[in-house]
Structure 1
Amino acid sequence: MTGTLGFAGAAAALGIGMLVGLERERHKGQGEYRAFAGFRTYSITALLGYVTQQVGGAVLLGLIAVCLGVLASTAYWKTEDKDPGITSEVALFTVLVLGALCGINPALATAIGVVMAGLLVYRQKLHDFARSQLTDAEMRDGLLLLIVALVVLPLAPDRYFGPYGALNPRAICTLTALLMAIGAVGHVAVRALGPRYGYAVGAIASGFASSTVTIAAMGQAVAKEPNHLRTLAAAAIFSNVATMAQAGLILGTVAPALLVKMAWPLLAGLVTAVLYGMGLMLRTGAVPASQTLEVGGAFDLKLALLMVLMLTGITFVSSVMLYHFGQVGVMLTATVSGFADAHASTASIAALATSGQLSLDAAAIPILLAISCNSVSKCLVAWVSGGRRFAVYVIAGQVLLTGAMWLGTLVS
């Protein structure tokens, strides 16, 4: 058994060295301008790391790393004027360490080796993306998202406190990071797919922030582009895909057990929205490049913070109503707040279910009521912003997907 594991580790180390070495060999160059290490050097270095770790452990590996550092520094000094980069030198050190790691965890070492090879292969595209495509605003938003997800979220306490036990800092921070991440993913999708599907994809991306606002934007665009009425109406309905997806993500984050209960209704609404939107788009042509949806930055921080404040307020009100009036109070709160936003109501009800104040069966109906009332708001917005013809398409789609959700409760 030990021999089998040793052979597997050595094979993994050799594979990592050959993979990285093959990529480096292709960009090694020729003659006096060629790089100092290629296919054989990387393969041997990976095996050297594996054998060193097996024979002498960390001490011998450190000595070998020092010797390798001297050799790499000498090679870099000789080619400094021709190639000021140190990618090959760093990659060689990494291969040595990954070879040593193969003796402990070959699977992890192999995964890291594949990722490193991918970074080397796509280095030019990554450089172009960082220099010419990534804007300062997107960079700032990305750093802000990382701070919230990797710094603030782990430090937030995971417990319910406050009046009526309605507030959970970890859940609130998680939802904030989730809203920011979803907006960033939608923004990347719009940038990647280009203008042809700008309205539909942009509506879905914007729908993660606010489907109601997205429908209003599509309605306003109808006045400028009446020839693309069906395309805009389809985009408005597609924004409901974000509503269903975000509701599922919120439930999965706050109350996974409640997501199982709501899976069929949400899936029924999502499928209906997709099929109805695709049906509208079948009779429309491609949208010209000049008619794209402005999606702004990677995400809307103000809107995310507003969602957090709304979530906190609605959760507190729902807890008070539940404490004093029971489940009837929760349904009333969900109905009223759903006209403004379905996501905050969904999150607050899910928080009540997680804390044990509301059963799963009792929590499903208020969530459906909130989403249904939000559909009514969308219909009104469509009529006011886009006129009668636009509203007819949107209202029909909203009625169909809302009815499909209620029918989905018969399956769940």
Structure 2
Amino acid sequence: METTWSFASTLAVLAGALGSGLLMGIERERRKGAGPHRALAGVRSFTLASLAGATAALLDAGWLVAVGAAFVAALGVVAYARDRSDDPGVTTEIALWLAYAIGVVCAHSLPMAAALAVVVTGLLASRDALHRFARDWLRPAEVHGALVLAAIALLAVPLAPNRPLWGEVLNPQVMVRLVCVLLVIQSLAHLGRRLLDARHAMALSALASGFVSSTATIASLGVAVREGREAARPQGGAAVLSCVATMAQLIVVAATVQPAWLARLWAPALAGTLVAALWGWALLRALPGGAMEAGPAQAAPSDPAMFKLRDALLIAALLTAMQVLVQGLTQWWGDAGLIAGALLAALADVHAAAAAVLVQGRPHDAAGPGLQWALAAAVSVHAASKTAVALASGGWRYGLVAGSGVLAHTAAFVAVLALA
């Protein structure tokens, strides 16, 4: 089918190709060098290649576009074959072909072509930073972890069947997505700890640890207080800040197992997050001189794993087991069984309880109000469990400081949920 181009649209396409070629070409010109070892192309070559692609596309001749692409590719092959430098590369050759292709794209979508030009230029300009990241900053265990995570996200999740095996539970794809989400959370916490090691900021370190386990974070902070290594007030503030991760993970669980609940839960979760963040920050800001530095960091492995797949599988199994438990109790005892199962699950993990409750239905279903109150009860029981852990691990002073914040942010969540 022939395309009729107006004069204005033709000028727009050529102007887009000109700008894209200039953008990429200027970056390459700065790195082209001089003398016999200079690179293949600079600002003029990139601009001409982009304009050639746009012109071929405007002529609406597919054969001409293909011939042009082959010609630019052949130029790159010849230039690479004649390169006698100590470290020959193909970046400029590939970028020149992309400049031609972006010129072709200009005739179909100017915004897409402009975005591609900016992305390509950014990658070209970030050579040194990307090399340092890949060679120096990134660790072998993190590369391995990223490959495993990509395999699960791109292969296991799409291939898993997407249908419940019993009622609304035991959906294989939901279970695999849970594992994937847990691995992503562990990975983010790992990267957060790496970035924060140099800063030793207690608040941010506790927040990052909370994404692994807020309860475990509260317990470890309490042990430091009991042993006399830290004061109760700042440790309690850090413990409350770790509860921000609890609210964030609650939203993640809802989005994974029953996205319909997001509209009902975002406001309560935001209220709980704000109370926990402000409460914990106030306790840390009250330190003399604004001191917020953590104690000496313990020696960490030189190449720690980005995540622990076994832990993610165990947590996902716990979440699924709690869903099955609540499903069975609900079918046996009705609403009373639903609440009983949610409370039992909350003693172990609030996210397991939330997943078990939310998977039973949607907020606008007939069971919606009962599910909402079951979730509120589960979150409350989990807050009481955290307070007990704080008292047991750090004594009454730490338990009072940390427990009051935990209960306050939970009360905010439940209150807003009740008004939703």
Please indicate, yes or no, whether the TM-score normalized by the shorter chain is above 0.5: yes
Aligned AA (1:141): G
- Report how many aligned residue pairs link the two structures: 411
Secondary structure, counterpart of 1:167 in structure 2: coil
Shift of 1:243: 0.6
Shift of 1:38: 1.1
Distance in 1, matches of 2:183 and 2:61, equals 45
Shift of 1:234: 2.1
Distance in 2, matches of 1:244 and 1:135, equals 31
Structure-1 residue corresponding to 2:11: 7
Q: Which moved more, 1:393-402 or 1:60-69?
A: 60-69
Distance in 1, matches of 2:212 and 2:293, equals 23
Structure-2 residue corresponding to 1:352: 360
Structure-2 residue corresponding to 1:395: 403
1:155 aligns with 2:163: no
Aligned AA (2:249): Q
1:316 aligns with 2:324: yes
Shift of 1:397: 0.6
Distance in 1, matches of 2:126 and 2:361, equals 46
Structure-2 residue corresponding to 1:25: 29
Q: 1:159 to 1:400 in 2, by over 3 A?
A: same
1:113 aligns with 2:117: yes
1:232 aligns with 2:238: no
Distance in 1, matches of 2:171 and 2:161, equals 8
Structure-2 residue corresponding to 1:326: 334
Structure-1 residue corresponding to 2:280: 277
Structure-2 residue corresponding to 1:179: 182
Secondary structure, counterpart of 1:352 in structure 2: coil
Q: 1:261 to 1:246 in 2, by over 3 A?
A: same
Distance in 1, matches of 2:418 and 2:329, equals 28
Q: 1:62 to 1:21 in 2, by over 3 A?
A: same
Shift of 1:224: 6.0
Aligned AA (1:308): A
Aligned AA (2:99): V
Aligned AA (2:102): L
Shift of 1:127: 0.9
Q: Which moved more, 1:294-303 or 1:199-208?
A: 294-303
Which one of 285, 293, 302 corresponds to residue 287 of structure 1? 293
Shift of 1:31: 2.9
1:384 aligns with 2:353: no
Distance in 1, matches of 2:294 and 2:357, equals 43
Q: 1:51 to 1:398 in 2, by over 3 A?
A: same
Shift of 1:265: 1.9
Structure-2 residue corresponding to 1:102: 106
Shift of 1:225: 6.5
Which one of 192, 197, 201 corresponds to residue 195 of structure 2? 192
Which one of 361, 369, 389 corresponds to residue 377 of structure 2? 369
Q: 1:394 to 1:57 in 2, by over 3 A?
A: farther
- Please tell me whether the aligned partners of residues 203 and 281 of structure 2 are also in contact (alpha carbons under 8 angstroms): no
Distance in 2, matches of 1:390 and 1:195, equals 27
Shift of 1:366: 1.3
Q: Flag structure 2 segments of 5+ consecutive residues without an equivalent.
A: none
Distance in 2, matches of 1:92 and 1:224, equals 64
- Please tell me whether the aligned partners of residues 10 and 58 of structure 2 are also in contact (alpha carbons under 8 angstroms): no
Normalised TM-score (structure 2): 0.90
Q: 1:390 to 1:21 in 2, by over 3 A?
A: same
Aligned AA (2:358): A
Which one of 251, 255, 262 corresponds to residue 254 of structure 2? 251
Q: Provide the aligned C-alpha RMSD in A.
A: 2.4
Q: 1:176 to 1:64 in 2, by over 3 A?
A: same
Distance in 2, matches of 1:15 and 1:186, equals 41
Structure-2 residue corresponding to 1:241: 244
Secondary structure, counterpart of 1:207 in structure 2: helix
Distance in 1, matches of 2:195 and 2:43, equals 34
Which one of 122, 138, 141 corresponds to residue 142 of structure 2? 138
Aligned AA (1:273): A
1:39 aligns with 2:43: yes
Q: Which moved more, 1:299-308 or 1:7-16?
A: 7-16
Secondary structure, counterpart of 1:353 in structure 2: coil
Structure-1 residue corresponding to 2:71: 67
- Please tell me whether the aligned partners of residues 195 and 287 of structure 1 are also in contact (alpha carbons under 8 angstroms): no
Distance in 1, matches of 2:76 and 2:296, equals 52
Aligned AA (1:204): L
1:122 aligns with 2:126: yes
Distance in 1, matches of 2:12 and 2:133, equals 38
Aligned AA (2:351): H
Q: 1:8 to 1:289 in 2, by over 3 A?
A: farther
Secondary structure, counterpart of 1:226 in structure 2: coil
Q: Flag structure 1 segments of 5+ consecutive residues without an equivalent.
A: none
Please give the per-residue CA displacement for 1:172-229, whole angstroms capped at 9, x wherever unaligned.
2222211111222232233334432543323222222221112122223335673454
Aligned AA (2:306): A
Q: 1:379 to 1:355 in 2, by over 3 A?
A: closer
Please give the per-residue CA displacement for 1:238-285, whole angstroms capped at 9, x wherever unaligned.
111111011112212322332222222211111100001110111331
Distance in 2, matches of 1:166 and 1:341, equals 18
Q: Which moved more, 1:54-63 or 1:244-253?
A: 54-63
Q: 1:29 to 1:226 in 2, by over 3 A?
A: same
Distance in 2, matches of 1:39 and 1:83, equals 22
Aligned AA (2:76): A
